[in-house]
A and B are shown apart, each in its own frame.
Chain A
Amino acid sequence: MNTKYIDIQCVEQTFKTRKGNFPALRDIHLTVAKGEFVALIGHSGCGKSTLLNLIAGLTTPTSGVLLCADKEIAGPGPERAVVFQNHSLLPWLTCFENIYLAVERVFSGTESKAQLKQRTHDALALVGLTAAAQKRPGEISGGMKQRVGIARALSMEPKVLLMDEPFGALDALTRAKLQDELLEIVAKTNATVVMVTHDVDEAVLLSDKIVMMTNGPAATIGEVLNVELPRPRNRVALADDPQYQHYRKAVIDFLYTRQAHVEKAA
């Protein structure tokens, strides 16, 4: 049962547009085990984010079923926290208040105000932003905002952490730093993570399973690669690791040889 913590069966997603129906996803079958880190990778427009939004419950599939912990995903909820690509912090609230809003929603029924505040401080400390608690999102850097977004998601103690290209808009150095932080946090919390990315190294470094998607329209899962690199992983040591190179090569091969026609098609 644990191997099918998230169970996606035969999911199809069609969008209604002015030009008629646009088939985004078809025939998606995917299972995610508890505590597993799964990366969704593919060219832009292949429906990675669409699939993530389906798991989040922000959209409902045209046909097919999505289960989480044996229950159908009927809508969004705090047990499936989302880290949005552009952080989506509320600019009029401080970092502390942004996280507190989430903490309050999930735990206010069972915990005292002091405990809620403690949880918020813990979440900020987890991403190393205790000092920025009273700052507004407009006053901190892009990397810090993304960390607050991650802290907000983690503070809800979600069963599943969904990340939509969380580091996509960051520079390479900040991205590497946050990836390392994420590895540590995931190791600490043993979270189940589904992450959308188009960065091959990010996918291989972070995940247990890489789900490679074919090009849209009507995209589906082309191949699933199990990454069996031992944890904890170190990016410097892995750079020369033949096994790491092998996984990397497999993903690049899929993206650029077998699914390379995306530009021509467009």
Chain B
Amino acid sequence: MVAAVFHSPLEAPAAGPSTSATPKTMNVPAVPPVAATSVPKKPARDLRGFWLVVVPPLLGLALLVLIWHLIASSSGSGIPKPAETWAQAVQVFSDPFYRNGPNDQGVGWNVLASLQRVAIGFGMAALVGIPAGFAIGRSVFLSRMFNPLISLLRPVSPLAWLPIGLLVFKGANPAAIWTIFICSIWPMVINTAVGVQRVPQDYMNVARVLNLSEWKIFTRILFPAVLPYLLTGVRLAVGTAWLVIVAAEMLTGGVGIGFWVWDEWNNLNVSSIIIAIFVIGIVGLLLEFALIKLASLFTFEEVKA
């Protein structure tokens, strides 16, 4: 019945902090008492924190380097050893912004060129996708109209769109941007639409009782309620865009980290490819991290639940 939506218990948000605090103390029973009992023992606790926080990731990294080294040492693999790669990396990063003609530029320029394409393609996708998501979420008619299209187009590999881009825009750079656009628009459309559909009925009832205007509903209820979903969509979209740009640039050429990988492969400069893999990973990590930080700024306790 209609009343069914009103039955979430009031205490839930109020009880949140206390319940979330309990498991925390249960998970690490040994640490807090040590900290609480005596102040002079504080260094001991810090050391324990060091062991738990800093050491495992370092061990993981060491394991990676070890496996890499073993594979590289086996004859005939052709993969450079970590030490060689490190030496190459120092050389590459000593001058990231040099320009020796259009096909020989520093790694910094290549990363910036890729980021610029992602920014343009992704920005246009956001400009189109987010309003489209709101419209599809708000209107049943539009949702039924576009959902089959989205389901059809979303699973298509982004690279399949590249020839269409080349044909229509007659240029490598706009085609790459087009590919970014088309692959990063779907997560934003879908997440925004789902967010709009999931706005609690209670909030919409408040809007109806207060008889708010559409504009007020949008700015005071819809937009803040959808924002966490929207930012998740943005995060997924940026991740996809960064995945796709490397592949797209390998095909289009020019300047860009993807092109750089392909160019170094043609030069049989494998250590540069490994450096590029690390650079791509770190830039993707930073993008993701920045957006998670942004999302947490706009997420309220009761929206998360």
A residues in contact (CB < 8 Å) with B: 15, 24, 45, 47-50, 53, 56, 58-59, 75-78, 80-82, 84-88, 90-93, 101-102, 105, 136-138, 141-142, 145-146, 156, 164-165, 169-170
Contact = CB atoms under 8 A, between A and B. Distances in A.
B293 interface: no
A138 B3 contact: no
Given A77-B211, A105-B211, A90 B203 contact: yes
A58 B8 CA distance: 19
Interface in B171-218: 202-203, 205-206, 208-212, 216
A15 B301 CA distance: 34
Given A138-B301, A165-B6, A88 B11 contact: no
A101 to B, nearest CB: 6
Contact of A88 (B2, B203, B225): B203
A80 B209 CA distance: 8
A84 B220 contact: no
B193 to A, nearest CB: 20
14 contacts: A49-B1, A49-B6, A53-B3, A58-B208, A82-B205, A88-B203, A91-B301, A92-B300, A101-B212, A101-B220, A105-B211, A105-B212, A138-B301, A146-B10
Contacts of A145: 10
A87 B10 CA distance: 8
Interface string B286-305: 00000000000000111100
B14 interface: yes
Interface in B271-288: none
- The interface centre, meaning the residue of B3, B220, B221, B303 with most chain A CB atoms within 10 A of its CB, is B3
B13 interface: yes
A50 B1 contact: yes
B7 interface: yes
Which of B2, B11, B224, B301 has most chain A Cβ within 10 Å? B2
A179 B110 CA distance: 68
Nearest to B11: A142
A138 B220 contact: no
Nearest to A24: B1
